[in-house]
Amino acid sequence: MTTPPQAIRIAGEVLDALADGAPVLALESTILTHGLPRPRNLETALESEQLVRDAGVVPATIGVIDGEPVVGLSRNGIERLCTAEGVVKASVRDLPIARARRLDAGTTVAATAWLAHRAGIRVMSTGGLGGVHRGASETFDESADLPTLAGTPITLVSAGVKSILDIGATLERLETLNIPVVGYRTNRYPGFTVADSGHSLEYRIETPAEAAALAHARDELGLASAVLVANPVDAAKQLDPALHDRVLAEALAAASAAGVTGHDLTPFLLDFVQRATGGRSLEVNLEVYRGNVALGAEIARAVAA
């Protein structure tokens, strides 16, 4: 177990589990603070933690409270992030700013993975990753998730990258950054709310034990990158691919017409898609997240074993 910086607070339950070699699963908090409407965000947070506990794993939802990064938020901490006004979104670069200004913040995939690794947690679940944005050849707009994961040895379960991004370019960047990507029972890379993004994967695994073996092999080689497990949503529960493609094209056109770019683009597109699908994309998003949390708990048990 690594020794985390004193500025990071780790819940006693998480510390005890890590000391005993018991399974722990890290969960991000920007899905709660910026990805879901109230009160669904709090409901989802509590349901997810219970899902993890029911699997015999200790949940560690990660966020920032009054400037202090917390690994293993209490119920009060979760409620605060889900209901308070002025909660910001923090990637790794934002953590010192949040600390200096004593801000409350939801942590992105990058910040959550970084904090989880510093605490000694080996497995994390999220919904969809950040990646390379469309038009990045001109804007250089790329999520900090990618370079952070290149230097953070954690096993991360996601449903691919958000489909509003340039998925092909993201996969190329993951290869360049030497980040292994494996499909869970699939050779097709998922597209978040759709099961198949149209891109193939060279490698696949069939069981949580295989994911644990892959992480162990990475550690034996002394490599520093994350291992990404791409877990597609059940095809029967995905957003209809034809509807997805049509609405996404409309969302991109609307963003261009409104001049929305940079940091504001992703929330604009996700909100547009949610409204245009009558809330269906939100329900699929929740289905995606539940599936990734369930698989992450299984992999955490396998890693601990």
Domains contained in the chain, CATH given: 1-121 (3.40.1790.10), 129-305 (3.40.1790.10)
Tell me how far apart the alpha carbons of residues 54 and 45 are, in angstroms, rounded to a whole number.
14
Query: And the tokens for 262?
Result: 């940079």
The DSSP output letter for 94 is G
Percent above pLDDT 90 for the chain: 75
Give the pLDDT score at 263: 64
Give the pLDDT score at 139: 62
pLDDT in tens, 69-90: 999 999 999 999 999 999 999 9
Give the pLDDT score at 130: 82
Which listed residue (28, 49, 142, 287) is catalytic? 28
| Residues 6 or more apart whose Cβ sits within 8 Å of residue 294 | 51, 55
- Average pLDDT of span 241-261: 88
Phi-psi region of 225 (alpha: psi -120 to 50; beta: other; left: phi over 0): beta
Catalytic: 28?
A: yes
Alpha-carbon dihedral 179, 188, 144, 282, rounded to 10 degrees: -150
Cis peptide before 39 (omega within 30 of 0): yes
pLDDT in tens, 173-230: 999 999 999 999 999 999 999 999 999 999 999 999 999 999 999 999 999 999 999 9
Give the pLDDT score at 12: 96
Catalytic: 250?
A: no
Mean pLDDT, the chain, whole residue set: 92
pLDDT in tens, 114-154: 999 999 999 999 998 887 766 655 666 677 899 999 999 99
Which listed residue (49, 89, 142, 162) is catalytic? 162
Prediction pTM value: 0.93
Query: And the tokens for 15?
Result: 């510390």
